[in-house]
Structure 1
Amino acid sequence: MNELLVGIVGFGYTGRLHLAACRQLPGVRVVAVADNSAEALSQVPSDLKTFRDYRDLLALDIDIVNICLPTAAHAAAACNALRARKHVLVEKPIATTTADARLMMEEAKEAGCLLYTGMTHRFYPEIREAKKRVEEGQIGDVVLIRDSIFESLGFLGGPAWYRSKALAGGGTVLSSGVHLVDRVLWFAGRVPVSVSGFTSNAILGGEVEDSAQMCLGFDGSCFAQITFGWLRESHPLLCDLELTGTRGSLVVHTWQGYEHRSARGVQQYTIYKSESHQEKVLVGLRGEILEFCTAVREGREPWPCVRETNRALRVVEAFYEAAQTGAVVALKGTL
C-alpha cells in the first residue's frame, strides 16, 4: 500500500480530530499543519511541520490537503490546493454558497484531482445499519422522516466563528444541521421538490439562527421535518432520526444505537458502550478519510460524491430563502 501524505489546514477542534483519525489509519501520514494562530500551532505534535500561511504547506510534496477552516474560507483554500494539484478533503459544509461549491468542483475537474466533503454521519454504524434495514424493505416504503439535533455550543468549546454570519455563512442549520439534511435525503432515496420553515435567534441572539424548523416535500409520497437547536446552558447532545414506513419504523439515536419497531414489538440495538463522544466521532472520521484515501489510490470517485453531498447545501440555501420570505420554495429541477 502506497503511503499517502497529508497536510491539515486549520488546527482547531475539528483539525485536531482529523489528525487523530489520520494517525489511526494505515498508509496515511500527516506531515504538516497550517494555521494562522500561533496558539493553535503550539498544540501541533513536534514531529510535524508547521506553517502560519497554508499556501506554504501547498508547496510540499503531499497528496492530500485536509481543510478544517471556518466555512467561509473553504472555497479559497480548496481552490488554491486544487491548483497546486492536491486532492482535497474539506469539512462540511463544503462552502457557504452553492456558487462557491460549483467553483470548487470546476477547479477539481480542471486539476484532475478529487474533491470530497466530509460527511461523518454516512459512516456511523448505527446510521448504516438503519439504512441497510430500509434498503431491505424491513419497514416498507418510507413515508415520513423526522430528524433533530440539540447541542450546547459549549460542548464544542464554542468557537466564536460559529456565530459569525461572515465566517460561518449561517447558524445551526448550516453547521451541524447540514449532516441532518444530507442523511434525510439519503434515507428518502430521492430529491425533495419543496422546502419551507422558520428560523429564530431567540436562544443566543446574534447574527445567525440558533433554532429552526425545516419541512421537506418529496412528490407527495414522503415528507420530512427537521428540528435544529443550539442551547445556551449545558445540555445532553441529542441527535435522533425517526423513519416511519408502511410496515414499521426505525429510530436512530446517533452515537448510541437504534430501535426497530414493528408488529413484533420493539427491538433495541446498542452500538456503543463506554466510549467518549470524541471516540464515537472518530469512528465517522476514520470512515470518511479511509474512503477518500482509498478513492485516491484507486483513481475513482469517492462515496458519497461531492455532487450528491452538495444537494444538502442547496436545500439549506433554499431553506434560508423560505424562512426569510415565508414562502414555500420549489426545489424541483434545482438539485
Structure 2
Amino acid sequence: MSFDYPYHSSSSSSSFRPHELHALKFYRFHGRKNCWKHYGVQREEEQRPRHHDLQIITWNVDFQAGRVNERIVGAIDYLKNVVLKGNSPPHCIILLQEVHSKALPVLLAHPWIQRYFFITPIDNLKWPIPNIYGNVTLIERSVSIKEAGILYFAQTAMSRTALVTDIRLAPLEPEIYRGRRDLTIRIVNTHLESLKEGDSVEFRADQLDICAKLLRMEDPPAYGGVIGGDFNAIDEDSAEQIHDRRLLDPGEPSGLADPKDSHTWGFHETKTLKFPTCRMDKIVFTPRGELTLDPPMIFGQDARTEEEEWVSDHYGLLTKLSV
C-alpha cells in the first residue's frame, strides 16, 4: 500500500481531524531533456540495495532571513564542499527544512543537485497553503528508494509537515536478520511546531507522536526508522518526549559533556534571544535489532554566503545509519 490515506492519532487534540498522509513522487534530472522528470521506481527484484549504511544530514536553512536564493546556494555549496567533502557525494539522504518557495527553483537548478540526487517534492504546491516554505528531501541516486509521502499534521498553526521516505538497505550480516538481504528503512524529515504560546506545546507533542508512529506503522511496513529535523526542542521535557515514544537519541549530551556543545540554534542571533541557545535539531531512531545510528556531528558554524551572510540561524547535523 502506498502513502495515501488519513492517519488518525490517539491524541485528544486531533481526535476529530485525521492527519493526512499523501503519496509523493520522486524526481530525477534528465540532462538530455534539461528538466526534472518523475522517476518510476523499479520493482524491488530489479533494484537490489547496494548499501548497508547511509549518511543522514538534517539542516533548517531559515526561510525568514533575506537573500534566500544566495543562502540556499551557500547551503548546498557548503554541504558539497565542507560536509560531504567533494564533488561526488557518498550515499546519503539530506533533510532540509524551511526551504523558501522562491529558493526552491534555485535549489533545483544547482548542478550538483541535478547530477547526483533524487528530490521530493518537486514544487511548493505540495506544501500546505500558503505554500511559502516547507521541507525537501534529497536522496543520492545510488540509494535504493521505495516510496515517499507527505504527512499534513492535523493540528498546526504554522503549516508544518513531515516528509516520509522509504529506502532499502542491505544488511552487512544477513544472518543477524534471519537471512534477510534487504530491509526497508523509513526516514522522516520534519519541522515541528515552534514557540510556547497558545497550543504550540500540545501541537508539537502530537506531531512528534505521529512521527514516531509512522516509523512503526504496519501498512506499508518498515523494519525501523529515523526522524530528523527541527524538533523545536524548547520544552523542559523534550528529552523525555523522545524516550516516552520508545526512540533513541544518540545526540543526547552525556552527564560529563557541556550541554551547550550539542546546541544547534541561537548562536548567530543579534537581537535579544527569546530562547537561550538550545538543541532544537535532532536525529533519533527506533532501537531494533542491529540498527545503529552514530552520535551526530554538528556542522555549519562557519557557513556563510559569498556576501559573508550566515547561511542559516541553525547548525546542521550529520550522522550515519547502519544495519
Give the TM-score of the pair, scaled to structure 2.
0.32
Which protein is richer in helix relative to its size? 1
Higher alpha-carbon Rg: 1
